[in-house]
Amino acid sequence: MAKPLMAKATAVWLVDNTTISFKQIADFCGLHELEVQGIADGDVAAGVRGFDPIANNQLTQEEIEKAERDPLHKLQLKYNPAAEGEQKRRGPRYTPLSKRQDRPAAILWLIKFHPELSDGQISKLVGTTKPTIQSIRERTHWNIANIQPIDPVALGLCKQSELDAAVQKAAAKKAREGGVMDDDERRKLVGTEQSLIMDPEPKIPSAISGLETFTLSSGEEEEKPGERELDADSLFNLPGSDDDEGSDDNRS
């Protein structure tokens, strides 16, 4: 449901000028009921000037009176024809100035550990532009030599739930396209909580040189060509040692 402009200031005005319940005000303004109670007690929004929703064309007097009579009635914003057809602004999220220098490190981390994410998903997660992502992906960024991959969640650029949702969406898309995933890639495509509870899958080598044996019908193991038992004498009797001993005897 759409929320009013200056929600906290509107809540201050409704608390001061109406007998609407805290629950109704909280639902209308998108606040917690205890927060509205704190406004009434003077502990929250101290010094905030009330914002009249009637004068600012957000509520009607009839709607307020209806809510005062019925504690279960939910306040509805006044219909505004000018807002019809408006869409939510699309594009990268706002990133504070103090964190903008960390975006390249976060982008490199996402490209390295979650290559299944599209440029659009990375853009929404860390609040950057597609040309920047492309320059880091192609390693043409002006500072690429000094960029180290860092988890965007650790940098505070996005929430873990947002990252997990993006990864799961990428997994679903890849599954629809029929992509084949190995064990490591499948662990990347699941959420963090699921990955932590997954049992490690044993990886058996397809062949280990020197360990294969051939079994005969009688049950005896056949020695591979070139293999024989080694003892201490065979190790020290190097080729040519007999000749050296013979030459020593001749010299004597």
Q: CA quadruple 167, 171, 176, 180: dihedral positive or negative?
A: positive
Helix (H) or strand (E) holding 105: helix 103-113
Residues facing residue 221 across a β-bridge: 215
Cite the beta strand spans of the chain per DSSP E.
Answer: 214-215, 221-222
165-171: long-range pairs with CB below 8 Å, 24+: 166/117, 166/121, 166/124, 166/125, 167/114, 167/116, 167/117, 167/191, 169/121, 170/114, 170/116, 170/117, 170/118, 170/121, 171/116
> For residue 180, what are its two tokens?
């084949």
CA distance linking residue 14 with residue 56, whole number of Å: 13
Task: Return phi, psi of residue 215, to 5°.
Answer: -105, 130
pLDDT attached to residue 217: 45
User: Which residues contact residue 102 at a Cβ distance below 8 angstroms, ignoring those fewer than 6 apart?
Assistant: 150, 155, 157
Q: What is the CA radius of gyration of the chain?
A: 36
- The pLDDT of residue 111 is 94
Residue 159 in contact with residue 167, Cβ under 8 Å? no
Q: What is the DSSP letter of 118?
A: -
User: Residue 192: what pLDDT?
Assistant: 52
Distance CA 111, CA 139 (A): 11
Measured CA to CA, the distance from residue 216 to residue 111 in angstroms comes to: 53
Give the pLDDT confidence score for residue 148 in this predicted structure.
93
68: CB partners within 8 A, 6+ apart: 18, 19, 20
Q: Please identify every stretch of the chain with a pLDDT value under 70, giving residue numbers as ranges.
A: 1, 80-93, 178-252
